[in-house]
Structure 1
Amino acid sequence: MAEYPAWDQDEARSIVAGFAHLEGAALPILHALQATFGYVDPKAVALISDALNLSRAEVHGTISFYHDFKTAPQPARVVKLCRAEACQALGCEALVDHLERDYGITVDGHAGAVAVETVYCLGNCALGPSALIDGELVGRIDADRLAELCHGAHA
């Protein structure tokens, strides 16, 4: 689980300036901000807009279009649970039910130090159900292992 520094407007301005010369710089800037701080603070919209001569709506639209850009600090653990057809056939929906019923963890929401998000295909279909836990692919995940990983974030 990564630890990120608090949002720093001066550091963000420096990151924006470092990529502003690139053609199509918006995505590299957004990725760099998220890699540095763990999210893209809404204050970055004005910085990027000014640096790239884009409207704030264009910058905001880019951030909101891509699901992986976050606009607030994220929980300590992020679980991306595959809910595509192959993983459904192998029981992922029972995992979702188990988390919600037994642990009060809702998918596509977060509870305390864990966020569980739906994704559609992690490319690990033969080993489903699959999850991406803090960026690490886990195949054949079962309810106990998933609960352990989610519960471990609460500690």
Structure 2
Amino acid sequence: MPDALLADTQAEALHNILAQHVGLEGPLLPILHAVQEEFDHIPAAAVPVIADHLNIGRAEVHGVVSFYHDFRDLPAGRHVVKICRAEACQAMGVNQMADDALQKLGLEWHGTSKDGAVTIEPVYCLGLCASGPAAMVDDTLHGRLTAEKLETLLAEASA
């Protein structure tokens, strides 16, 4: 049984989440958001439990998790830095800034620094198109980024 792959406390928390969503129409996304909030990611062992509970295929659950960039399958770092990759920010030079930041951190997109301080993720619009390039550190938006501003944000997140 997939529950056996979850720690007892994780299995209990997952079952509580599932119980809170009984009777909700279209519950998969709300369940996934609640699971991620509880565990800081969607544990692989939770996917079959969720699928069985909703009477859907594991592939469907996995497909939703992998489609939406806000869901992650590994815990994030203490700080999450999201860099806008939308066209308006690209037109303002974000691609080079992002490439430089990833190289400096020694990470790929969705990677977490070895010390667990920073996870860096691409997003495809932060709604600051007129103030691009833009990034979000945890829940704080930052517009009109320069390479120096981004480097400062990353240094502060890494501290």
TM-score in same-fold range (> 0.5):
yes
CA contact (8 A) 1:79 1:117 kept: yes
User: Using the alignment, how far apart are the partners of 2:58 and 2:74 within structure 1?
Assistant: 18
State the identity %. Answer: 46
- Deviation string for 1:116-138 (max 9, x for gaps)? 22222222111111112112211
- Please, which runs of 5 or more residues in structure 1 have no aligned partner? 1-6
Q: Aligned in 2, Cα 1:106/1:151: closer, same or farther, shift over 3 Å?
A: farther
TM score, norm. by length of structure 2: 0.82
**AA of the residue aligned to 1:70:** R
Report deviation, 1:73: 0.8
CA distance in 2, matches of 1:28, 1:101: 35
Counterpart residue identity of residue 93, structure 1: N
1:132 alignment partner, SS class: strand
Distance 2:125 2:54 in 1: 34
**1:3 match:** none
In structure 2, the CA distance between the partners of 1:128 and 1:28, relative to structure 1 (3 Å rule), is: same
Residues 39 and 108 of structure 1: CA distance in aligned 2, closer, same or farther (over 3 Å): closer
Deviation at residue 106 of structure 1 after TM alignment = 4.0
* 1:136 equivalent in structure 2: 140
Contact 1:16–1:47 (CA under 8 A) maintained in structure 2 = no
5+ long unaligned stretches in structure 2 = 1-8
User: Paired residue for 1:67?
Assistant: 69
Aligned to 1:41: 43
- Going from structure 1 to structure 2, the CA distance change for 1:81 and 1:18 (only over 3 Å counts) comes to same
Please tell me the root mean square deviation across aligned C-alpha atoms, in Å. Answer: 2.0
Count of residue pairs brought into register by the alignment: 149
| Deviation per residue, 1:69-94 (Å, 9 max, x gap) | 11111111111111222212222123
Q: In the TM superposition, what is the alpha-carbon distance from 1:108 to its structure 2 partner?
A: 4.3
Contact 2:110 2:121 in 1 (8 A): yes
SS in 2 for 1:116: strand
Q: 2:121 aligns with which of 117, 123, 128?
A: 117
